[in-house]
């Protein structure tokens, strides 16, 4: 079911059948451009792969993920959002899972995300018992700067409202994704500066290139 079509780009709900293409897209695009993965020099897409596939498929099953298809180019995948419901008990679950992970880049990213999730204290702050979590958004390099990321986020907000979510949250590790979310009315409710986030030896754990200086928790009431 097409949720909206504009300039030949159709956005619709992602299906399980879409995941093969989405996963390939993530490997070629998201993991190469996301600042923390990009700066690691590791093959992050192979880290925790089985668990990540299961997690992504569980989100797709909720009907809360989106694909953007270029109708002028044979329906080619040009963007997607993986998103799903989160509940208060997930905060502790994520902390335990992150601590148990291998100490590779993906494991370190999950520890960072768990830390800012705990500190943002979203459920108590907003007085809510569930939230729509926008997990990964990726847009084809050829489509960047054309507003497709914003369209995907706006469409996800509509899906969230239709499913009765009181709020939507995104953890933005990239300066550009945070700026885009801010332009859509999302507020930064917590942030962590990478230079201040250090290991036991006092060295920054992540050193992405400028302008990526911090991770931000962006949220909006729906």
- Is 21 strand, coil or helix? helix
Q: What is the pLDDT of residue 2?
A: 73
Question: Any idea what DSSP says for residue 209?
Answer: P
Q: Do 153 and 184 contact (CB within 8 A), yes or no?
A: yes
In which band, very low, low, confident or very high, does the pLDDT at 136 lie, cut at 50, 70 and 90? very high
Which of residues 116 and 27 earns the better pLDDT score?
Answer: 116
Strand (E) or helix (H) holding 153: helix 148-162
Residue 1 has pLDDT above 90, yes or no: no
Q: Is 61 helix (H, G, I), strand (E, B) or coil?
A: coil
- Going from N- to C-terminal start, the domains of the chain cover 2-221
pLDDT at 40: 81
If we measure between CA atoms, which residue out of 83, 89, 77, 67 comes closest to residue 3? 67
Task: Output the pTM of the full model.
Answer: 0.93
**Amino acid 34: pLDDT:** 87
Question: Which CATH number among 3.40.630.30, 2.60.40.1080, 3.90.870.10, 1.10.3720.10 corresponds to the domain 2-221?
Answer: 3.40.630.30
């Amino acid at each position: 079911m097409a949720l909206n079509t504009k300039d030949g780009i159709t956005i619709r709900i992602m299906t399980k059948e879409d995941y093969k293409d989405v996963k390939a897209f993530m490997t070629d695009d998201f993991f190469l451009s996301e600042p923390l993965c990009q700066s690691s020099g590791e093959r992050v897409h192979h880290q925790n792969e089985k668990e990540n596939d299961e997690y992504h498929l569980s989100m797709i099953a909720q009907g809360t993920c989106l694909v953007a298809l270029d109708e002028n180019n044979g329906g080619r995948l040009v963007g997607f959002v993986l998103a799903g419901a989160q509940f208060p008990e997930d905060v502790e679950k994520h902390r335990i899972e992150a601590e148990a992970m291998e100490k590779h880049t993906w494991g370190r990213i999950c520890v960072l995300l768990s830390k800012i999730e705990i500190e943002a204290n979203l459920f108590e702050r907003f007085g809510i018992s569930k939230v729509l979590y926008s997990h990964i958004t990726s847009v084809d390099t050829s489509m960047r700067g054309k507003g497709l990321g914003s369209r995907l986020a706006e469409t996800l907000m509509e899906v969230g409202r239709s499913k009765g979510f009181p709020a939507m949250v995104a953890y933005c590790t990239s300066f550009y994704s945070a700026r885009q979310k801010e332009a859509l009315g999302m507020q930064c409710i917590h942030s962590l500066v990478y230079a201040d986030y250090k290991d036991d030896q006092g060295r920054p754990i992540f050193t992405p290139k400028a302008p990526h200086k911090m991770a931000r928790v962006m949220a909006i009431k729906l």
